[in-house]
Amino acid sequence: MSTSIKLIHSTKQVSGTVQLTGSKSESNRALIIQALSGGRVRIENISEADDTLLLTNALAKANESGHGQQIINIGPAGTAMRFMTSYLNLVQGDFILTGTERMQQRPIGILVDALKEIGADIHYQKKTGFPPLHIEGKLFQSKDTVKIQGNISSQYISSLLLVASALKKGLTLEIEGELTSRPYVTMTLNMLEEAGITHEWTDNKIHIASQQAKETTLYIEPDWSAASYWYAMVALSEQGEIFLRGLKQNSLQGDMAIAEIMAHFGVSTEFTETGIQLRKTTFISDKKLFDFKECPDLAQTVVVVAAALKKDVSFTGLETLKIKETDRIAALQNEIAKFGVELVVDGETYHLRTANFKEPEQLSIATYEDHRMAMAFAPLALVFPAIHIEEPQVVEKSYPMYWDHLKQQGFSIIQ
């Protein structure tokens, strides 16, 4: 694919059915559970995302024996970096765990400190607190309790929980302070339960005893994060109805919060036995504050929709966005400014200002090596005559069929 594509939607209407790939979040957890299960756990409907393929390949390489020091490069896959940082300590071997230049700027110190506290042999290859990491596998567990901050990436906590049952003494996590992104921790624990790994969660302590998984098949639900972009398209269309197959009302995924959020922006959700039906409505609520503490991956989608609908609303819970694939707050500010909208910082609250909204003659969106930037801004082709998306291939990280699905819904894509 070229370094830039031009998106046009002539009718500004969307309708039809979309089959989303399996959830990346569920798939990556399932892969670690499977790898530690001794062949007892199978997976169905695994994600087609690059991140999941990278983790699959990393696990396969980690389990190749007799090859000396193994260099495992997980590229830009943040979840894979966090999960492999814990997993490699349970494998006999000598590993260098690394990633892209941006990955080497994303902090990992809190997780490494927790692992070292229970006996892991991990050293930094370059900058303290950041990848690449030198990991000597087969840790000798020195203690079974570790404290970890709750207001950091939930992936650190999930990483520890996923390996806890494989530790000889099990593991108790004491979470200090308020837990950010709680639904992702709950997803991890629920998936472990599906595989027969039980836990106890009392107050701020999560305990998982040493135990084995049972024979089971983990079915991966389609990705609610990917669904959010279809909510955006319905919201920004002149007329819109989209059916998304396989999504469930009792989902494990915290990003199903998009259904409630987008009800405030004119999109209704009807749950059926086979999926969800999205419809554009005339209802736009007067809600002024949206909290993304438990669903930060939805923030870009909703900020762009609100900006395009010229809604002056405010957002909280965006703290973790600065350490994602890019500094997502700065990236959002840069790109919405191109059509006259501001995202103003006030402590931990961010205010959208749309008074100077404009329609530029040329709108080209930079994606900052971030898949969610490309997918969140693409629906603007339903608002503006045309938009350009730079480096469109970044969507392969989580939703490789994204541009094909847009074509099926009437978008013209010119390379």
Catalytic-role residue among 94, 297, 370, 404: 297
Q: How far apart are CA 132 and CA 98, in angstroms?
A: 4
> Does domain 4-22+221-414 match CATH 3.65.10.10?
yes
Average pLDDT taken over every residue of the chain: 95
- 24-219 and 4-22+221-414 share a CATH fold: yes
- Flag whether pLDDT at 344 surpasses 80: yes
| Chain center to CA of 288 | 25
Mean pLDDT of 116-138: 96
- Flag whether pLDDT at 2 surpasses 80: no
Q: How confident is the model at residue 65 (pLDDT cuts 50, 70, 90)?
A: low
pTM of the complete model? 0.85
370 counts as catalytic = no
Return phi, psi of residue 410, to 5°: 95, 5
Assigned architecture for domain 24-219: Alpha-beta prism (3.65)
Per-residue pLDDT tens for 150-174? Answer: 888 899 999 999 999 999 999 999 9
Domain ranges of the chain: 4-22+221-414, 24-219
- Flag whether pLDDT at 342 surpasses 90: yes
**How much is the pLDDT for 139?**
83
Mean pLDDT of 72-85: 96
